[in-house]
Structure formats: structure tokens, C-alpha cells
Amino acid sequence: MLTQMRTAVDSARAATTAAATAAPSMMGSSKPSAPSEAPMTGMTAFHKPAESSHSRALLQLINELMAGVETRFGIKPGTLVERKLVRIFKDMPMDTLRDWVESMNACSPDHSEWQSLVENLTVHETYFCRDPDLMNMLGDEIMPHLLNLRKAQKQLQIWSAASSTGEEVYDLTFSALRAMQKAGYARLFEGKLVPEAGWGVFSFGTDISNQALRTAKAAIYGDLGMGSFRNLPDDWKTMFEDVKIAPANAMPGVNYFKIREWVRQCTRFERFNLMNNRPPVMGMDLVFCRNVLIYFEDPVKKAVQTMLARAMAPGGVLVLGASVQMLVPAYFESRLGKGGPWYVRNDTRI
Ligand SMILES: C[S@@+](CC[C@H](N)C(=O)[O-])C[C@H]1O[C@@H](n2cnc3c(N)ncnc32)[C@H](O)[C@@H]1O
């Protein structure tokens, strides 16, 4: 449907351009714009005092759509989301848009239409070793706590909830293997970090975005500008191997690197909506949920944190990032480490 709507937008655009040469703009008042005025795109078009009934109706439909986005995906309505939606739909014939919003309201969040929309609204910004202080704290404080907790079971289960394109999952897996080597539970063999007999690391990455998950599974990253490697420490480089990409898929001048098999084989990726109150996994030892709850309102954050607590084993560790408040303290004991807060799951049942 989005594709059909885009086709409709394109033809509406063509018709508008043709009409514009003979008639006043459909978007604003009948007065021609002053040459210095900003182009009538995004919010500027809708916050002008002389709003047309078209733009008011569009804004109303967009508000309805934003409410649907928040209910289904947690992403709170805001200027950024509104701007993106205005940009997508501003030239849409109103009747088509109204019918579409109505049909969307009747669909579940798993419907392909919502999926297409959410791909356009989510922010996938991430990179390796995103927060070095946190990564140091993970190696020096959190991993020793977890290895001590799991020395009888000999396995670590890790979940990156909202893993985007996978960098966080590979960071966590690599950190776990390095901590195991330090503790004598893994060794370096022919350049690979190999767990000692009986030991295992299982890392699970989930996200709402299928596009992001495809990149995560492919595990191939380019070294362009502010991309995945903008902050890569030297000792992180052993995790990668050079890879050649077919010229049709490669960007000129960019080198590509793939996560090595011995790290990839510990990982798995799946689509999961954080709004679901049933976790996709249980008994997790380490859960990272960073740079996503900032897009949610407090009641949604609280529901997500409760779901994460449900997924965790007693003694397991939750990391939310420094800017997100713990809203379900009944299930956790707080620790303040050198790289920020972390939370140890207690025995309280949910
Ligand atoms: C900014 S990235 C954070 C990536 C990584 N955790 C990090 O800190 O680098 C936020 C991710 O949250 C995902 N996301 C947003 N809403 C979601 C939801 N309701 N359920 C699951 N993932 C969601 C987005 O698709 C995006 O990939």
C-alpha cells in the first residue's frame, strides 16, 4: 500500500506541478510566496497562520497516525516523527490518505503496512564501542560478576533489546569472550577466542526494523565516515576480517569488514516489538536496552522495563544507559559503576 501511495503521490505531484503554472499553490493561500520564504516543506507549511483546510486536515490525520504509532510501537509523538510523516504524506490526495489511515487503524502492528511505516520512523544510529566507559565497565565490573554467577552452569545468555544493525550484539559477544579468556574460561587458538569445554556464549539481538536486522545478520560493515567504525579501539579489530563486496552493492572508496565466524556463531537475531509484554527469551544473564527508551513516554518505559525484568534470571544485569531512569526498582538492586548505572535482577517474582 505504501508503494501504491507513493505512486499516487508521484502522480499528484506531477499534477500539482502542472497546475502550479496556471493556478495558485494548493498548499498555501492564494498569495504567491515571497522569494525569500523557506520552501513549504514539513512543519513550516503547517504552522503558518494562513493554513489551508487541506493542511489542517492533513495534520489531523497525521496526529491520528502518530497516536497509532505510539500505541503500537511506543514511539512518542514529537516534532521529528511529525515532520517525517508530513514529508511522506504532504502531497497525498486527502481522500486516499483518510481511507488509508482508517484501514491502518484496524491493522495489527505486525501488518506489513505498519512495518513499512515504522522503517521510516525509527532511528538506527549505532556504532561499535559506542560508549567506551560503559564498555570498560562491562569488562571490569559486569562480566566478572556474571562469570562468577554462572561458573556452575558455564554459559552466558545475552540479549540486546533494540539492537539496530547489530554492532551492540557483536560488542557484547566479543566482550564476553574476552572476559572469559581473562578468567581462564576461554583461550586464544589460531587467532580465535574459543570457550573452554562446556562453556558457551549465546547472544540474541532483537529490533522492530527488518532492514536493521538484515544488516545485523549479514554482519558486514563499511568504513565510511561517521559509520559503524567511528570509535573502534585497536584491540576490537581482531573481531573483523576483510571482505569483498560485489561492485553493484559496494559504495565507491569504502572498505568492508565482516564479523569473524567465531563471534557470529554465538549470535542470533529476530524481530521483536518492545511493546509486547511477553519477552522473546527467558533466563537472560545480561540485557542491554540502550538508546531506545528515550523515544518512549514513562508509562511505556515502565512496561518495557517490567518485560525486560521478566526475561532475566536472578543475579542477571540490566543496562539502560545513563540517561534512562529505572522505573521498576522493586525488581532490581542498583549499582553505580565507573561507566554509569547497572541493575542486578533480584528474586522478586513478576
Ligand atoms: C538508536 S537505535 C539503538 C541501537 C543500540 N541499542 C545502541 O545503543 O547503539 C534504536 C533502535 O530501536 C529500535 N526500536 C524503536 N522502537 C522499537 C520497538 N517498539 N521495538 C523494538 N525496537 C524498537 C529502532 O528500530 C532502532 O534500531
Domains present along the chain, CATH in parentheses: 2-121 (no CATH), 132-345 (3.40.50.150)
* Mean pLDDT for the stretch of residues 2-24: 41
Residues in a beta bridge with 344: 317, 333
Distances in Å between the alpha carbon of 204 and those of 69, 233, 282, 296? 25, 23, 11, 22
pLDDT tens, 118-159?
999 999 999 999 999 999 999 999 999 999 999 999 999 999
Tell me the mean pLDDT in the region 331-339.
Answer: 98
Closest by Cα among 103, 285, 281, 126 to 209:
126
pTM for the full predicted model = 0.87
DSSP states along 112-152: HHHHHHHHHH------TTS-HHHHHHIIIIIHHHHHHHTTT
Report pLDDT for 342: 98
E strand or H helix at 75: none
Ligand 1 contacts CB of residue 212 (under 6 A): yes
Nearest protein CA to atom 7 of ligand 1, as residue: 126
> Is 69 a pocket residue for ligand 1 (Cβ < 6 Å)?
no
d(CA 144, CA 182): 9
pLDDT (mean) for 298-322? 98
Q: Which atom of ligand 1 is nearest to the CA of 164?
A: 27
pLDDT of residue 80: 87
Grid cell in block for residue 14: 506531477
DSSP state of 52: -
Between residues 240 and 91, which one has the greater pLDDT?
Answer: 240
In short, whether 291's Cβ falls inside 6 Å of ligand 1 is yes
165 lines ligand 1 (CB under 6 A): no
The per-residue pLDDT for range 82-121, each reduced to its tens digit, is: 899 998 898 889 999 999 999 999 999 999 999 999 999 9
CA 260 from centroid of its chain's CA atoms: 23
- How much distance in Å is there from the Cα of 294 to the middle of ligand 1? 10
Overall average pLDDT of the 325-330 stretch: 98
State the CB neighbour count (10 A cutoff) for residue 123. Answer: 13
pLDDT in tens, 156-194: 999 999 999 999 999 999 999 999 999 999 999 999 999
Q: Please give the Cα distance from 207 to 38 (Å, whole number).
A: 37
pLDDT(276) > 60:
yes
Three-class SS of residue 263? helix
Residue nearest to atom 17 of ligand 1 (CA): 208
For residue 198, pLDDT over 50 is answered with yes
- Average pLDDT taken over every residue of the chain: 87
For 182, the grid coordinates are 581473562
Task: Report the pLDDT value the prediction gives residue 6, as an integer from 0 to 100.
Answer: 52
Q: Is the pLDDT of residue 79 over 90?
A: no
pLDDT value of residue 53: 84
- Cell numbers linked to 195: 570457550
Which among 273, 250, 259, 236 is positioned nearest to 73, based on CA atoms? 273
C-alpha cell at 180: 572469559
CB 309 within 8 A of CB 339: no
Q: What is the dihedral of CA 320, 323, 328, 330, to 10 degrees?
A: 90
Tell me what the mean pLDDT of segment 292-316 comes to.
97
CA dist., res. 51 & res. 54, Å (int): 8
* pLDDT above 80: residue 306: yes
Question: Which percentage of the chain shows pLDDT scores above 70?
Answer: 85
At residue 47, does pLDDT exceed 50?
A: no
Confidence of residue 14 (pLDDT cuts 50, 70, 90): very low
Select from 160, 157, 264, 263 the least CA-distant residue to 206: 160
* Per-residue pLDDT at 45 exceeds 60: no
8 Å CB contact between 337 and 142: yes
Dihedral, 23, 27, 30, 36 alpha carbons, nearest 10: -100
Decide: 216 in ligand 1 pocket, CB within 6 A. Answer: no
Between helices 53-73 and 79-89, what is the axis angle to 10°? Answer: 120
- The pLDDT, as a whole number, for residue 284 is 98
Q: What is the pLDDT of residue 295?
A: 94
Pocket test for ligand 1, best of 160, 208, 323 (most atoms within 8 A of CB): 208
Task: Assess whether the C-beta atom of 219 lies below 6 angstroms from ligand 1.
Answer: no
Q: Look at residue 222 and tell me whether its pLDDT is greater than 60.
A: yes
Could you tell me if the CB of 158 is within 6 A of ligand 1? no
Query: At residue 26, does pLDDT exceed 50?
Result: no
